[in-house]
Amino acid sequence: MDHLKIVVIIPAINEEHSIAKVIAAIPQKQNLTIIVADNGSQDRTPELAAAEGADVVFEKRRGYGWACLAGMHAAKKYTPDVVVFLDGDFSDYPEEMDALIAPIVNDECDMVIGSRTLGQKTKGALLPQAIFGNWLATQLIYFFWRRRYTDLGPFRAIRWKALLQMDMRDKTFGWTVEMQIKAAQLNMKTVEIPVSYRKRIGVSKVTGTVIGTIKASYKILFLIFYYGLFAGRRLQKRT
């Protein structure tokens, strides 16, 4: 595993109470770089991330996808083999990263989704609207592409070349579902593994607010139907 170059991208906004914990819990290994994509924090998130050794990049345009794209842009200089996406709120267990990337290391797949549905969760960690939204979205993905997922969880790993192949475009709430749709369109091999999940530190910017829930739900459903009905069921792999 140490022979692979791994980049961990952490999109973050106002996570000063959790970001250091997240970075400290990531397994230390050779050829590993942590990039924190700060999405306009008004607290000490970037300073604390830098103090923990992360490469901090800034993206003032608000949106989860914008932050992830900024992290990808910064990752290019490290020419990684594998990219791991991880939230900055300490709801995931970064110490499970080795298990997350193992199927890629063992050349079993192109992408691994950490499924909170299959894993152990603390009570109240996944709100009812998130549980229902994940179920509906994954059922629709199966309907259109016959690709079975159980979660749209943010903790995931993917080969860098596969990620570039996807030509990711979403700037806000649809980032994870776009990635999973395009993996199906490109016929990439994906697996899910159970991951643990706990209550995040602070309040969710998405499911923690009514407006956030509505916006995220609309965007996720829009993308599924857009790619399923109008953008073509299949994409051709670029060489």
Which CATH number does the domain housing residue 87 bear? 3.90.550.10
Count the domains in the chain.
Answer: 1
For 31, counting Cβ atoms within 10 Å of its Cβ (0-12 exposed, 13-18 middle, 19+ buried), the class is: middle
Print burial letters for 169-193: b (CB count within 10 Å at least 16), e (below 16).
ebbbbbbbbbbbbbbbbbebebebb
Is residue 1, in this structure, part of any structural domain at all?
no
Is residue 205, in this structure, part of any structural domain at all?
yes
Query: What is the value of pTM for the model shown?
Result: 0.93
Is residue 162, in this structure, part of any structural domain at all?
yes
Is residue 237, in this structure, part of any structural domain at all?
no
For residue range 73-130, list pLDDT tens digits in order: 999 999 999 999 999 999 999 999 999 999 999 999 999 999 999 999 999 899 888 8
Is residue 145, in this structure, part of any structural domain at all?
yes
pLDDT (0 to 100) of residue 202: 76
Is residue 235, in this structure, part of any structural domain at all?
no
Is residue 239, in this structure, part of any structural domain at all?
no
